Every structure is written in structure tokens, then in C-alpha cells.
Structure 1
Amino acid sequence: MRYFFHIGYKGSSYRGWQKQVNAKSVQESIEDVLSNFLKQEIHCIGCGRTDAGVHSSQYYFHIDIKEKIEDHLFFPLNRMLPPDIAIYHITKVDHKNHAQNSATERTYNYFIHTRKNPFLSKISALYHITDLDVKKMQEAANYLLGKKDFRAFCKTPDRHNHTECDIRKAQFYIDKTGKFIRFEIRGNRFLKGMIRILMHELIEVGKNKITLQQFQNCLLSKTPPNPLNLAYPQGLYLSEISYPFLKQQASEEFCPMLKIHQWRAIKIN
């Protein structure tokens, strides 16, 4: 039997989702608990990878086991997990459904705050910038829409079968104080490091360090920025995963920045 687990996690204490040698990962933390609880070795197949320090307010993985998982097991499993990982739903699915391969769309949010705040240091990225040109950043983000080759914005392009992605949303928001900025990006797939590389370059556009033309030229020529830098990880959230056979609401508790501000979309005339 195949079960989909709908979870959220705060990534500050982990080296990302994927299990690795000599590093604490979300996958390993969950597999240890499930293996102990279900009295068998459990391997979780995740919907994708997240970098060290990156969060997920909606994440899915699946496991295959012979025994039925009873509904009452939901609460003891959550008690055994670390406080920064939570299970929201456990759903039995058809064996052909795959946590990674069956996903049709992924949405990420990136949060920036511009004044130091100790309560936001691990859930939002601090950039000491008072005059970001967010409209110019939105203009650059509009170049990303559609099916394009994002080879220039990937850490390891040769490890992918191809580097084309279909970006369906790339929208900046600002709160009413002007001190908080959010970037939401949605697409069918994303490459390794792609969103953080894009975010760094978009911030450079907003700081007038690079022009819109330079940003677009990187995309069209497939030539990476020099140097190739990534935005801070703590501002990034995997926010939503879409499947044709499953619809469950993401948790705002694991992405509090979404609900504590009144966000206004940046429009280009």
C-alpha cells in the first residue's frame, strides 16, 4: 500500500530534505521515527529537494508498506517527531501515484525584511536595503514567464536531463509599511539552486547593480551571472505542491509571514 504524507517543516536546523552523510536532514529525521514506530525499515520518497535552511509549509513524501496505517497513529507519530516537523495528513493513494513524478506544479515564496528583527532571523531574509526598486524587480520577473531555458540560473545544469522550465507566476508583493517584500514563483519544475540564484539577481536589479537588459541577456544567452551567487536560504519556502488526484491546504502556521502582513501586488503599467 502506498501512503502520501502531507507535512510542513522549518528548515533552520537541517541540511535540507535529502538524507546525506554526516549531516542532519529532514528525510532522515522522519525515516528514523517511522522505522521505529512501524517496526520496519522505511524509505521516504520526497516531492523534491530543499537546500539547507530552506523551509516548507507544504511538502509531500510517500512510503510503501504492507500494513494499513490506522488513523489513530497520526497523533503519536507527531509526538515522536521533532517540534520543527509536523504531519498534517496521511492519505492512502493508488500505487501509480508518485510524490515527485506526479506533481504538476510547485510554488515557492521568498520573504525579505529590511530592518533587523531577531524574531524573523530564521524565517525571513534580512537585506539592509532602503531603496529597492521593486517595480524594476517585477519588470525583470516578467521575463521569466512561460517555457524558457533556465540553464544560466542553475548550480549544476549538466546534472539535469534538460534545463527548460514552464514558469506560470512570478510576482512581487510589498506590505503596507514598505519594509517587507515577498516574491512568489510557480512552475512545473525548478532546477538546483534556481530560485535562490534568480532571487539574488532580482535583488541586484532592484539595487540598480545590474540592468534589466543584463538580466534578460543571461536568460537568453544561457550564460550564468558572474559571479554566481545565491540569495540567503532562510527566506525561501516551498509553499505548495499540486497533484491532479489530491488537494490539501498548506499550513500558514509554518509560513507565518504569509498571514501577518497585508500584501499588495506590484503591477507594471
Structure 2
Amino acid sequence: MRYFFHIAYKGGNYKGWQRHPYGLGVQQVIEECLGKILRKPVAIVGCGRTDAQVHATQFFFHLDADKPWEFDMLDRLNKVLPPDIAVFDIILMEGLPHARFDASQRSYDYFIHTYKDPFLSDVSSFYLLRNLNLDAMKEATALLPRYTNYRNLCLTPAEQDSTICHVTAAQWLTDRNGDRLRFQISANRYLSRMIRILVGQFLRIGMGKLSVDAFESYLAGENKPKHLAPAYPQGLYLSKVTYPYLDLPPRSSFAAIHQNQNDADWKAV
């Protein structure tokens, strides 16, 4: 029998979701905690990967079990996990659905603050930028759903099975004071560091260092940027994972993470 675990985590203390030989990953922590509870080695499969220091307000992994547990796994696992990882739901699935390959859409949020704030330093990316051209950034962002091959915006295209990604939605938002930005994107899949690379390109556009036409030439495959600099990781959140058979609202709130701001405080650019 297969269970889906609905979780969230703050990524600041981890080298991403997956196990690494060079640092601690969220997957390793969960597998070790489950191993202590079940008293045997445990292997889990996540819905995707996140980079080092990247957060997830919604994430799923699956675990196979021979029989139902005779105890409250949700309560016991949350007690042994560290405070920066939480389990919200454990769902017995029909058949053998796959947490990674069956996901039809993944959505991310990227947060930027343009003033120094010690309470945002590990949950938002700090860029001391003024007078960004938000109209140009909006124009460039609107191009994403029109193109599918992101090879020229990938650091390691030769290592990818495919560089085709179908972006279904993307937009920039700003808060009421205009000194914080939020980028939202939804797609069926992403390449390594793709969202952080896109944010880095959009910031260059906002600063007047890259034209919208030049950015479109990257998407169209006509030109390739000389250098790709991903934006900082701590502002990025995997915020929604959707399956054809499972569509749960996220349990973690951005309001709690971002000083009581809620969605109503953000306005589309």
C-alpha cells in the first residue's frame, strides 16, 4: 500500500530536498526519522527537488508500507522531526501513484525585499534596488507561456533529458509600499535553478541592463546569454503541487512567514 505525505519545510538549514554526499537534505532527515519509528531502513520518493536553502510550503512524498500502522504516524513523525519540517496529512492512495511523475503542475513564489530587514533575511531575498522598471519586467514575464524550450536559460542543458517546459502562468506582484516584490510561476516542470535564473534575468531587465527583446531572443533560441546568475535561493518557495487525483490547499501560510502579509496586500504589476 502507498501513502502520500503532505508536508512543508523551511530550507535554510538544508542542501535542498534530495540526499547529498556533501550536506544534509530534507529527504535524509525524514527517512532517518521514519527509520527510527519503523525500526528499519526507509526510502521515500519526493514530488521534485529543491535547491539548497529553498523552502516548500507544500510538498509531497510517497512511502510504501506492507500494512497499516497500528499507531498515529502523523503525531509520532511530527514529534521526532525538527521544527523546520512539518507533516500535515498522510493519505492512503489507491494503486501505486507516483509523487514525482504524476504531478501535473507545480507553482512557485519568489519574494524580494529592497530594504535591509533582519526579520526577512532568511525568508526573502534582499536586493538593494530602486526604481526598477516594473513595466518592462511585466512585459518580459508575459513571454514565458509563449515559449517552451528553456535550453538557453539552463546552466547544464547537456545533463537534461529535455529542456521543454510548459509555463501556464507567471506574474509579478508588489506590496502596498512598493518596496517588496513577489514573482509567481506555474508550470508542468522546471529545469535546475530555472526560476532563480529567470528572476535574475528579470531583475537585469528592471535595472535596464537587458532589453525585453534580448530576453525574448534567449527564449526563441536565437541568442544565448553570456552568463547566467541565479537569484538568491532563500526567497524561493515551492508553494503548490497539483495531481490529477489530488489537489489540496497548502496548509502553511505566507502571512505567517512574511510578517502577517496576506494575499490581499499584494497587487499585480
TM-score, normalised relative to structure 1: 0.95
For 1:43 and 1:6, the matched residues in 2 are separated by 16
Percent identity (aligned):
40
Q: After TM superposition, give the deviation of residue 159 of structure 1 in Å.
A: 1.9
Query: What letter is aligned with 1:19?
Result: R
1:263 aligns with 2:254: no
* Cα distance in 2, alignment partners of residues 245 and 64 from structure 1: 18
- Which residue of structure 2 aligns with residue 226 of structure 1? 226
Q: Which residue is equivalent to 1:38?
A: 38
Q: CA deviation at 1:103?
A: 0.3
SS at match of 1:52: coil
Tell me the matched-pair count. Answer: 266
Shift of 1:244: 1.2
| 1:10–1:55 CA contact under 8 A, matched in 2 | yes
Contact between 1:151 and 1:222, CA under 8 Å: does it hold in 2?
no
Contact 2:19-2:25 at 8 Å conserved across structures = yes
Structure 2 CA distance for aligned equivalents of residues 172 and 135 of structure 1: 10
Moved more, 257-266 or 194-203: 257-266
Partner of 2:166: helix, strand, or coil? strand
Which aligned pairs between 1:21-170 and structure 2 lie closer than 5 A? 21-69=21-69, 72-170=72-170
- Gap change, CA 1:147 and 1:71, over 3 Å in 2: farther
Q: Which residue of 2 aligns with 1:184?
A: 184
- The alignment partner of 1:88 has SS state of strand
Structure 1 residue aligned with 2:174:
174
Partner of 1:98, secondary structure, is coil
- Could you list the per-position Cα deviations for residues 141-191 of structure 1 after superposition, in whole angstroms to 9, with x for gaps in the alignment? 011014510011112212222111111111100111001100000011111
The CA distance in 1 between the partners of 2:259 and 2:139, in whole Å, is: 23
5+ residue gaps, structure 2: none
The residue type paired with residue 113 of structure 2 is: H
SS of residue in 2 equivalent to 1:148: coil
Q: CA deviation at 1:227?
A: 1.3
Paired amino acid for 1:260: Q
String of CA shifts for 1:46-87, please: whole Å, max 9, x gaps: 111100010000000001110213572211210100100000
The AA in structure 2 aligned to 1:213 is D
Counterpart code for 2:143:
Y
In structure 2, the residue corresponding to 1:27 is in which secondary structure? helix
Q: Which runs of 5+ in 1 are unaligned?
A: none
The residue aligned with 1:217 is 217
Post-superposition shift, 1:95?
3.1
Task: Report the CA distance between 1:5 and its aligned residue.
Answer: 0.5
> Which shows bigger deviation, 255-264 or 154-163?
255-264
Q: How far apart in 2 are the matches of 1:116 and 1:61?
A: 36
Q: Secondary structure at 2:214's aligned position in 1? A: helix
Contact 1:151 1:223 in 2 (8 A): no
Q: Matched residues in 2 for 1:246 and 1:70: separation?
A: 25
Deviation, structure 1 residue 252: 3.2
Over the aligned positions, Cα root-mean-square deviation in angstroms equals 1.5
More displaced 10-residue stretch of structure 1: 12-21 or 242-251: 242-251
Q: CA deviation at 1:196?
A: 0.6
Give the superposition deviation at 1:242: 0.3
* 1:257 alignment partner AA: H
Q: What SS class does the counterpart of residue 12 from structure 2 fall into? A: helix
Compute the displacement of 1:258 (Å). Answer: 9.3
